[in-house]
């Protein structure tokens, strides 16, 4: 019985480590904070951060926050996503 509990503990610890280190976004909060400092409400910025993070990876969001435009296709996708997200978050209030 004690071996089973030890194995369950090890598996739960592994799940916790994977979830906290690899499955959570490192850019969600900084993106939201940047949005709120730009004049958005907390609810709008939470919504926009969720919207953007559903469509871009953390690396892409880092590029967006650094204003690293890259190629024109990426820049166009970012502009369209931000506009669509802003509209969706305004109408969702």
| pLDDT, tens only, 2-50 | 888 889 888 888 887 776 666 667 888 899 998 899 888 889 999 999 9
Both tokens of 66, joined, read 């650094």
pLDDT, position 21: 62
Task: Please indicate, yes or no, if residue 12 is contained in any of the structural domains.
Answer: no
Task: Please indicate, yes or no, if residue 42 is contained in any of the structural domains.
Answer: yes
* Each residue's pLDDT tens digit, 47-93: 999 999 899 988 899 998 888 877 888 899 999 999 999 999 886 55
Domains in the chain: how many in total? 1
Task: Please indicate, yes or no, if residue 14 is contained in any of the structural domains.
Answer: no
Q: What span, in angstroms and rounded, lies between the C-alpha atoms of 79 and 85?
A: 10
Contact 13, 5 (CB under 8 A): no
Task: Please indicate, yes or no, if residue 79 is contained in any of the structural domains.
Answer: yes
pLDDT, position 22: 61
pLDDT, position 92: 55
Burial class (CB in 10 A: 0-12, 13-18, 19+), 48: buried
pLDDT, position 70: 78
Q: Containing domain of residue 57, as a range?
A: 26-91
pLDDT, position 83: 93
């Amino acid at each position: 019985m004690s071996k089973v509990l030890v194995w369950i503990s090890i598996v739960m610890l592994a799940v916790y480590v994977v979830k906290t280190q690899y499955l959570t976004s490192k850019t969600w909060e900084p993106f939201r904070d940047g949005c709120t400092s730009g004049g958005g409400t907390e609810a709008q910025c939470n919504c926009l951060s969720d919207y953007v993070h559903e469509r871009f990876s953390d690396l892409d969001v880092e590029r967006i926050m650094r204003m690293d435009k890259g190629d024109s296709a990426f820049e166009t996708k970012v502009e369209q996503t931000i506009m669509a997200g802003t509209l969706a978050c305004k109408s969702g209030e």
